Amino acid sequence: MLLHGGLALHESTDQGVLLVGRSGVGKTTASRRLPPPWRSRSDDAALVVRDAGGGYWRTPGRHGASYCTTQRLKDAIWKKATPLKAIFILDQAAEDRVLPSGRGAAVCMLMEIARQATWRLWLGGDLAALHAAQTQRFDNLCTLVQAAPVYLLDVSLGGEFWIEMEKVL
């Protein structure tokens, strides 16, 4: 699945997280504010892939599965992949805090976030294919939120939101 969001890696623990949200919420700003041992891997798009064992991996960029036409490109993507530990859905707030998200609410929010990442792919496309893709996306997101915890992350302009993230990781 391609999601509209950033990737961050906690280098001390090798924990990868997604920072996702609606357009304009501050994903890029949040990604740039992360201090060491956090490292931003991307701030706009993330490919989430399920492996054969049921684990989820995330890798940066829009060069995702739909663009993987060569084995060399696929290998390059996997070299940058890290295990997905959690998903944080960002929102702007006066105070930093993390709240757990219910699975149903998480799927609904992630459906919109995924749509934002892929809407250009369907311009002028076949409506039956679009419906099939949306159904598959929904099923994939339902499976994803059962495997990885989803949190609502309120981010303030001057706070240290990453400390709140670390508390739940």
What number is the average pLDDT over the span 79-88? 80
- Is residue 18 within 8 A of residue 12, CB to CB? The reply is no
What's the pLDDT score for residue 162? 96
Instruction: Determine the Cα–Cα distance for residues 91 and 161; give it in Å rounded to an integer.
Output: 11
Which residue's entry shows tokens 């989820």? 56
Count of the separate structural domains present in the chain: 1
What's the pLDDT score for residue 79? 57
- Is residue 11 within 8 A of residue 167, CB to CB? The reply is no
Buried/exposed 64-89: b ≥16 CB within 10 Å, e otherwise: beeeeeeeeeeeebeebbbebbbbbb
What's the pLDDT score for residue 133? 81
Domain that holds residue 26: 2-168
Is residue 159 predicted with pLDDT exceeding 70?
yes
Is residue 164 predicted with pLDDT exceeding 90?
yes
What number is the average pLDDT over the span 33-49? 85
Q: What is the pTM of this model?
A: 0.81
Is residue 67 predicted with pLDDT exceeding 70?
no
The secondary structure element, H or E, covering residue 102 is none
